[in-house]
Structure 1
Amino acid sequence: MLITNTRATRETYPNDLRSIMSVDNAEQSRKWLSTWGGIYPGSTPLYALDGLATALGVGQILVKDESVRSELGSFKALGAPIALVRLILRLWPNDGLDPQALLSGAYKTKFSDFTVISATDGNHGKGLAAAAQSAGCRCVIVLHANVSAEREAAIAAYGADIVRIQGNYDESVEEAARLARENAWHVVSDTSYDGYEEIPRDVMQGYGTIAAEIVEGSARSKSPVTHVFLQGGVGGLAAGIVSYFWETYGTRRPTAIIVEPEQADCLFQSALSGVAAKATGSVDSVMAGLACGETSPLAWRFLVSSVDYFMTVKDEDAVQAMQVLAKGNESDLPIVSGESGAAGLAGLIQLMRDPKLARQAGLDHSSTVLLISTEGATAPAVYEQLVGESGLGVLARQKEFLDRRASHYA
């Protein structure tokens, strides 16, 4: 289902939003992260999938592959570490702490009694646990009933203490807030709520690294990006990306389309009402990272004016998109994209199957579409079950593809 956001604007980036998130702050975050051992050096790849573009009827498809951002396997390696650093700098303003040294563990003894906590569907918790381990502080992660044991083990591997609840994601957020109040811990969440905006802002600002790399990479492509498909969730990733694009390109910003599971449609409902809203469905989705029931009010302040269309997809659409990316073809390399990572492609496929919807979104043979594959096989067993091949198997075929291409141009 697709709806047009009548509140979207093509005005220049407003000063009131720039005071919250800006290109300058995103670049500062990028600098701080550049020396952290938790992410790999350099930019993640921006692949052109020309065969898929031809098959779907668009001019070009670019895929930003965040699965190789770090050993964490997702874009969340960019948000939680920056939020943790900025939190510590605010709490110890007079100690002369160096942000990059902090993530390198230079002050581990100082923060051994400092505890951070967060609820998660998996990837944010893993990013926070890794950053806390680097900084030397304690990390507690609250998991809801639908988070797999496989994802739990991946978080615990970074030294986090795990708390399990029987409810959903939104109830895990409430439990994390309760535990923080009782124990004088600090919540490092990627979703905002009443009286809690600084840290979610910092998380979103960390995602500006992705946008900065896309701006640099797309400048070298054969045509500028016209459309960007972004995963929903609480809205943090989308806000971090569209705000950077909006400030950079102004009135020429790409058309933005948000995609989320039909049973976790909080952003879709927000677009209908004009205010941050709750999902209408069960929230449980195979797209675990997008199974969120409530829109982040802070993120919505950016999305309400900068996202042109909102849409929902079925779980089976996401699985099909995972399989399409994994398969590749003669001209397109195979890509490992997890359940949430492939949501953007699922949305594009759905629109291009319906000529009326494609026209509504302005998609045609002249369009250059940007997709962000936000995660790889972060739950390897789930990935293999859904795709029919392991992530390692897909990566082996990707290497063969790249080796063939390199030898061809040698």
Structure 2
Amino acid sequence: MLFANPNAIRETYPDRLKDIMNVEKANQSGAWLSQWSRLNPAGTPLHSLPDLAAELGVADILVKDESKRSELGSFKALGAPIALVRLILCEFPEQRFDAHGLLSGRYSSALADFTVISATDGNHGRALAAAAQSVGCGCVIVLHANVSIEREQAIATYGAEIIRISGNYDQSVEEAAALAQKNGWWVVSDTSYEGYEDIPRDVMQGYGTIAAEIIETGCAFTHVFLQGGVGGLAAGIASYLWELKGGQRPTFIVVEPDQADCLYQSAIAGKAAKTNGSVDSVMAGLACGDTSPLAWKFLQPSVDFFMTIQDSEAVSAMRRLAVGSEQDIPLEAGESAVAGLVGLVRIINSQTLCAEVGINTQSRILLISTEGATAPGVYAELVGETDASVRARQQAWLAKA
């Protein structure tokens, strides 16, 4: 389903939003992150897929490959460490900590009794656990019933204490907040709620690094497809590009699972809303039922279209990217990484939708492949081959290029 957002505007980035998130703070976050040993200092590649573009009848398809961001395998590695660093700097001003010293563990002895906690579908919790381990503070991660054992083990590798609940993601968020209040811990979440916006803002500001790297390439694009979830990634990237491009910003389309359509429902309601679905989706990173109210402040005026997709379409897109072609590099794209491609294909297959969204033979499409095989077993089951096999084919393609 596709919904044209009646509240989307094309004008200069508003000061009321710039006071919350802006390019300057995003670039500062990127500078800090460049000093974290767990990230690829070169950023992530932006690939052009000319064969897929020709197949779909557009001028170009650009894919930002976040599987190469770090050992953590996803874009979430940009948000959690920035939020953790800003939290510590704010809470301990008298210590005169610095960002590089924190991320290198220089102040670990002073932070041994400081503990952070978060709920997660997998990737954010893994990134927070890794950041906390680097900093030297404690970390507790709350997992809901649908998070795989494979993802739990990946988080535990970084020394986090794991707490399991029987409910869904939104209930795990509530549990994390309750445990934090009871134990004097700090919630470092990527979703906001009443009275809790500063840390999610910092998480989203970290995601602006993706947009900054894209802009540095000089590549042009007319349409940007962004994953849904609670809205943090979409808000972080859209706000950055909007501030730079102003009224000439690209068309933004947000894509999410049919059964976890909280942003789609928010667009219809004209305010942050909940999903009407079960939330359970193979696209685990997008299986969220509640819109982040803070993210919605940015998405409501900037996103032109909201759409929903089916799990089966995501699996097909994963396989298509994994195979590659003579001119298209094979890509290791996880379940949530392919939502944008699915949305694009859905629109291309309808002349009516193409006309509505303004996609034609001159369109240049930007997709964000947000994760690699963060659950290798699930990936192999869905794609029909291992992530290692896809990476080997990718290396062979690069050797010939």
TM-score by length of 1: 0.97
Cα deviation, 1:35-82, whole Å, max 9, x if unaligned, reads 101211112000000000000111100000000100000000000000
Distance, in Å, in 2 between the alignment partners of 1:264 and 1:228 is 21
SS at match of 2:194: coil
* CA-CA distance at 1:309 after TM superposition: 0.2
Distance, in Å, in 1 between the alignment partners of 2:112 and 2:129 is 14
Distance, in Å, in 1 between the alignment partners of 2:325 and 2:31 is 37
Distance, in Å, in 1 between the alignment partners of 2:146 and 2:250 is 35
Give the letter for the 2:375 counterpart: A
Cα deviation, 1:308-331, whole Å, max 9, x if unaligned, reads 000000000111110110011111
SS at match of 1:211: helix
* CA-CA distance at 1:297 after TM superposition: 0.1
Q: 2:372 aligns with which of 361, 368, 376?
A: 376
- Aligned match of 1:14: 14
- Aligned match of 1:36: 36
- Aligned match of 1:390: 386
SS at match of 2:108: coil
- Say yes or no: does 1:138 pair with 2:130: no
SS at match of 1:325: helix
Distance, in Å, in 2 between the alignment partners of 1:249 and 1:62 is 18
Distance, in Å, in 2 between the alignment partners of 1:130 and 1:38 is 8
Distance, in Å, in 2 between the alignment partners of 1:397 and 1:252 is 39
Distance, in Å, in 2 between the alignment partners of 1:241 and 1:136 is 30
Distance, in Å, in 2 between the alignment partners of 1:379 and 1:352 is 30
Distance, in Å, in 2 between the alignment partners of 1:370 and 1:291 is 23
- Aligned match of 2:195: 195
Distance, in Å, in 1 between the alignment partners of 2:313 and 2:58 is 19
- Say yes or no: does 1:52 pair with 2:48: no
* CA-CA distance at 1:85 after TM superposition: 0.3
- Aligned match of 1:296: 292
- Aligned match of 1:408: none
Q: 2:311 aligns with which of 312, 315, 328?
A: 315
Counting only pairs closer than 5 Å after superposition, residues 117-136 of structure 1 correspond to structure 2 as 117-136=117-136
* CA-CA distance at 1:34 after TM superposition: 0.6
- Aligned match of 1:206: 206
Counting only pairs closer than 5 Å after superposition, residues 48-127 of structure 1 correspond to structure 2 as 48-127=48-127
SS at match of 1:369: strand
- Say yes or no: does 1:27 pair with 2:23: no
Q: 2:339 aligns with which of 316, 340, 343?
A: 343
Distance, in Å, in 2 between the alignment partners of 1:6 and 1:18 is 22
* CA-CA distance at 1:289 after TM superposition: 0.2
Residue-pair matches, total: 401
Distance, in Å, in 2 between the alignment partners of 1:294 and 1:313 is 18
SS at match of 2:93: coil
Q: 1:232 aligns with which of 204, 228, 243?
A: 228
Structure 1 vs Structure 2: percent identity of aligned residues? 65
Distance, in Å, in 2 between the alignment partners of 1:291 and 1:232 is 9
* CA-CA distance at 1:151 after TM superposition: 0.2
Distance, in Å, in 2 between the alignment partners of 1:249 and 1:112 is 44
Distance, in Å, in 2 between the alignment partners of 1:298 and 1:86 is 18
- Aligned match of 2:358: 362
SS at match of 2:347: helix
Give the letter for the 2:88 counterpart: I
Give the letter for the 2:24 counterpart: D
Cα deviation, 1:359-383, whole Å, max 9, x if unaligned, reads 1111111000000000000000000
Give the letter for the 1:180 counterpart: A
Give the letter for the 1:26 counterpart: A
- Aligned match of 2:255: 259
Give the letter for the 2:107 counterpart: Y
SS at match of 1:285: coil
Distance, in Å, in 2 between the alignment partners of 1:43 and 1:187 is 28
Give the letter for the 1:182 counterpart: K
Distance, in Å, in 1 between the alignment partners of 2:264 and 2:213 is 28
* CA-CA distance at 1:216 after TM superposition: 1.1
- Aligned match of 2:5: 5
Cα deviation, 1:96-139, whole Å, max 9, x if unaligned, reads 11111100000000001110000000000000000000000000
Cα deviation, 1:132-191, whole Å, max 9, x if unaligned, reads 000000000000000000000000000000000000000000000000010000000000
Q: 1:244 aligns with which of 225, 240, 246?
A: 240
Distance, in Å, in 1 between the alignment partners of 2:43 and 2:351 is 35
Distance, in Å, in 1 between the alignment partners of 2:208 and 2:229 is 17
Distance, in Å, in 1 between the alignment partners of 2:262 and 2:238 is 18
SS at match of 1:116: strand
Distance, in Å, in 2 between the alignment partners of 1:258 and 1:3 is 10
Give the letter for the 1:129 counterpart: A
Distance, in Å, in 1 between the alignment partners of 2:332 and 2:379 is 9
Distance, in Å, in 2 between the alignment partners of 1:197 and 1:132 is 20
SS at match of 1:311: strand
Give the letter for the 1:284 counterpart: D
* CA-CA distance at 1:354 after TM superposition: 1.1
TM-score by length of 2: 0.99
Distance, in Å, in 2 between the alignment partners of 1:44 and 1:7 is 33
- Aligned match of 1:215: 215
Distance, in Å, in 1 between the alignment partners of 2:169 and 2:96 is 37
* CA-CA distance at 1:21 after TM superposition: 0.4
Gaps of 5+ in 2: none
Distance, in Å, in 2 between the alignment partners of 1:361 and 1:371 is 16
Cα deviation, 1:197-232, whole Å, max 9, x if unaligned, reads 000000000001000001112x1x3xx210000000
